[in-house]
Structure 1
């Protein structure tokens, strides 16, 4: 499966997800009168044109990433490095909102978070390897396929399971554990890999947000 196609295919669902968040926020703000807040005395009132000009460097980031991916200039993994480097350059030299001390602290925090994530990946990878070698995942996939011949119904059940998993586990662990089970199911029903991947990503993301919302 082409990761660039998967990345590009997530653009439109991402826009829809953003609209799904914006519309309820607008409705609720109008209902409770939150949209017409009293301006703070002495605060700078910025026009749409001014704020758009200030947002141009940030808006150029997705153009840089997607352009590089579609042109084959770099891989999705390298795109993450390019995005971080671009953000650091903009923050340090263009907007000057980021100092070298801030950058050093951010790198330290990123190292700690990466260490935790890598530990989770290692443990989930061991679990996935054991399940594959023992044939457990293959038997689970066969059992799931035997539940029904209706691909739509089974897809709904799979998405519900992924949604619940997203409330309990992080996304990387879900992919490592569930993909060996779901790939045979996907191949059996001849689902498009890119389409199926986007559905998985969206449901996992909803589950992740739901978990955080419940913890508030």
Structure 2
């Protein structure tokens, strides 16, 4: 009788241990599931934020830009001299001929000696804001900083760099496991292609301007 009682006690203890182990395993798997869901959602929102930043940077790099050229004009009467101005008007609209003594009567030609990209910084930033608003994320995203590399001596000229900050609320608030809110930043560089008169080739800025501005 005593032996049966001892065996029964051992069985009950074993069942109790199994229940504890099962409960612990369920808790662990639940936490793992929550972690996978949170991480997957974070990756998705970060990708959305990156896409929005890319659109904003691209918009900033093409909005309100001007191509400024320096022309060497060779005029049969006035000689050789230089003129600097907007490429669209000087060359595209043929305004360079106005500097010739009598274009069409005496020989007159031009040669591009320099070209640079000039940004309208306010328009670039406004365009970035607009495109970010038109490409919303599931989190709360906003432009933190816009840097315009418009100086020809700048190593990242010509480009516009946009930093986007995003706030994402957790799906499991008050869980004491995950923070109530995630904060992260993404960066994108929008390049402006231009034709280098010294080489005759189309070129753009080095692609590593992101985060270098903040160092």
What is the TM-score normalised by the length of structure 2?
0.24
Higher strand share: 2
